[in-house]
Amino acid sequence: MASLGEHLLRRLRRRPAPPPTSRDHRPPVVPAVDDLVAALRAGRLHAFAMLLLSTARSGDAELVGSAERLLTGAGPRVWRALDAATRSHWGSTPRWTRETVELLAQGPPARLALVLAGCHPDGHVREAAVARVGELPDALFAPVLALRAADWVPQVRDRARLACRHRLAAPAALPELGRVAFTLEEREGGRWLADELRALLRDGPREFLLAGLTAPDHRTRRIAHQAGRETGRLGPRRLLEAALRDPDLPTRVACADEVIRRARDAGDLGPVRRLRASRTAAIRAAAVHTLALAGDREPSALLDRSPLVRATAQAAERRAGTDPATRYRAALADRPTAVAGLGETGTAADRALLRPLLADPTARVRFEAVRALRRLGDESDLAYLLTDPSPAVVRQVVTHQRPRAATLDESLLRDLLAPTHPAHVRRAAVLLLREHDPWCRLAHDLRLVDDQDVELRGHARTDIGSWLSTAATTYSQPNPARRAELLDLLTRAAPVLDPRTTTALRFHIG
């Protein structure tokens, strides 16, 4: 005896074929598996949906199977894009509509064909597909049912909701439906399934909560952890595990807050001490603060890699009457974070301790030394570090020197523009030269408009446009030597500049 889904599929076949239109066409060339994977990884979701349509019509069993496996692990963005793209594309191609109906009606349809039919623009096709997939336990169909449970056609929506209720007899269905359901709540009718899942997480058998806590989808896990915390169904071991290891940052932070709250209430700070090993700076900082209030200060927190954790530990030391800078001075030779900490807590007198570290063989130490000197108000000339092999160090030197860039030797910076220097050195020189007077800035932009470095070339051409937009407010005039230099550079750059730009520049140069 035929099921309801099979009956509806057969009924579709008896409908008259739609008339062809000028836009009626067959799918594009059949894609390869690599095309599907590349589109999915690159986030080209509309293109991925179009490739699936071509795959479904190809008849290539191996290709169809690969597409089905990709969809099984796809996230909610992919499913929503597939739903939107299938409806928008098939709505203008009657032949595809008819051929899809025939595929569904001729024996057991392929899983991919059923998935695409569940996203079809024709409500009758969606209804038949939903009735059929609702009879099949395959996990691939769960996102289709979640989408259709928010459908705008009542008959489709009601069938999908009934199928979802049947599936939810098994805990494994909760994460399968949740990965899409929790992204549809803003749709009209989209809250129904999300509310059903939340109710199961809060009040259903514990197996449903466990399924939610271990779901691959971060939204489902986040909502499951929230339900577990609010109802007290989340035990201390699992709560601490989530705080330390869950991949989702909001889940980690919320669970850590609950660990701390429970620890305070119970008077047992052991779990809080374990939070100091968290990979999340906000959690480590919260743990350090909580323990310090209880009189348990951890000196190693002063050397944490995170400025937030260091600031929390520094505040705790000050409350206890200890100057954190003293600890940093003692550890200066051992840890880059001690250098950073001294910059955060030291005084002008500490500059003498920091300057020798500018020659340290470790780039991280040099980086922190430059930043610490800047924070302590150092105004010495560090331009000699612009040739440092570390891009991070050079960026920090630029930040240090920028307030005094106009006083730096222009010829020194111009020499750093030579192609023999690494890209990060040349870019640093450009940034500092642009802080000189407007004519110096224009001269070096013109030097770089045909540079081999694509980024420098692009920035120079863009900056010339910016220079022209404010040229009317440049009330000074270039001196004769600079004017001659600019005119010579403009003549050389003219072949790569727009003629109108060249004319405008010549006018302003005078």
3-state secondary structure 223-238: HHHHHHHHHCCCCHHH
Q: Dihedrals φ, ψ of 168, to 5°?
A: -75, 10
The tens digit of pLDDT for each residue in 337-366 reads 999 999 999 999 999 999 999 999 999 999
Pair (331, 265) in one structural domain: no
Q: Decide if 298 is inside a domain.
A: yes
Residue 197 falls inside a structural domain? no
Check whether residue 161 and residue 286 sit in a common domain.
no
Of 312, 342, 366, the domain-final residue: 312
Q: What is the pLDDT of residue 101?
A: 66
Q: How many residues does the chain have?
A: 510
DSSP state of 107: S
Identify whether 136 is part of a domain: yes
Average pLDDT over residues 197-208: 95
How confident is the model over 403-421, as pLDDT tens digits? 988 888 888 999 999 999 9
113-to-104, 331, 479 alpha-carbon distances in Å: 7, 66, 75
Q: Looking at residue 107, what is its pLDDT?
A: 58
Tokens matching residue 289: 């603060």
pTM: 0.80
Which pLDDT score is estimated for 478? 85
Q: In angstroms, rounded to a whole number, what is the distance separating the alpha carbons of residues 459 and 407?
A: 23
Q: Indicate if 340 and 363 belong to the same structural domain.
A: yes
* pLDDT (average), residues 230-256: 95
Domain closes at, from 167, 184, 218:
167
The identity of residue 357, as a single letter, is L
Provide mean pLDDT across the span 285-304.
92
- Confidence label for 41 from pLDDT (cuts 50, 70 and 90): confident
pLDDT score for 395: 96
Check: CB of residue 238 under 8 Å from CB of residue 200. no
Range of the domain at 19: 1-167
Claim to verify: residue 371 and residue 249 sit in the same structural domain: no
The answer to the question of residue 436 being in a domain is: no
Higher pLDDT, 510 or 261: 261
252 shares its domain with 292? yes
User: Residues 6 or more apart from 347 whose CB is under 8 A from it?
Assistant: 325, 376
Is 363 within the bounds of a domain?
Answer: yes
Q: How far apart are CA 337 and CA 306, in angstroms?
A: 9
Q: Angle at CA 148, nearest 5°, toward 78 and 72?
A: 40
Residue type, 361: P
Task: Tell me if 265 is assigned to some domain.
Answer: yes
Check whether 212 has a pLDDT greater than 60.
Answer: yes
What percent of the chain has a predicted confidence (pLDDT) above 70? Answer: 89
DSSP 301: G
Do residues 302 and 342 share a domain? no
Q: What is the pLDDT of residue 508?
A: 86
What is the model's pLDDT at position 1?
41
Query: Sorting pLDDT into bands at 50, 70 and 90, what band is 207?
Result: very high
Q: Tell me how far apart the 2 most distant CA atoms of the chain are, in Å.
A: 98
Judge if 269 and 136 occupy the same domain. no
Query: Distance between CA 142 and CA 179 in Å, rounded?
Result: 9
Write out the DSSP string of 344-405: HH--GGGHHHHGGGGG-SSHHHHHHHHHHHHHTT-----GGGGG-S-HHHHHHHHHHHGGGG
pLDDT in tens, 85-121: 777 765 555 566 666 666 666 556 678 888 888 888 8
- Residues 258 and 333 grouped into a single domain: no
How many whole angstroms separate alpha carbon 319 and alpha carbon 313? 10
pLDDT at 69 > cutoff 60? yes
246 and 330 fall within a common domain: no
Of 7, 2, 5, 13, give the one whose Cα is nearest residue 159.
5
Nearest to 103 by CA among 94, 91, 112: 112
Residue 20 scores a pLDDT above 60? no
The whole-number pLDDT of residue 286 equals 96
In a domain, 195, yes or no: no
The residue among 336, 364, 380 that closes a domain is 380
Q: Is the pLDDT higher at 135 or at 208?
A: 208
Q: Are residues 308 and 335 in the same domain?
A: no
Are 16 and 127 contained in the same domain?
Answer: yes
For the chain, what is the domain count? 3
Domain presence at residue 426: no
pLDDT of the residue at 422:
94
In this structure, the answer to whether residues 303 and 337 fall within a common structural domain is no
Residue carrying structure tokens 């300057």: 355
Predicted confidence at residue 24, as pLDDT, reads: 47
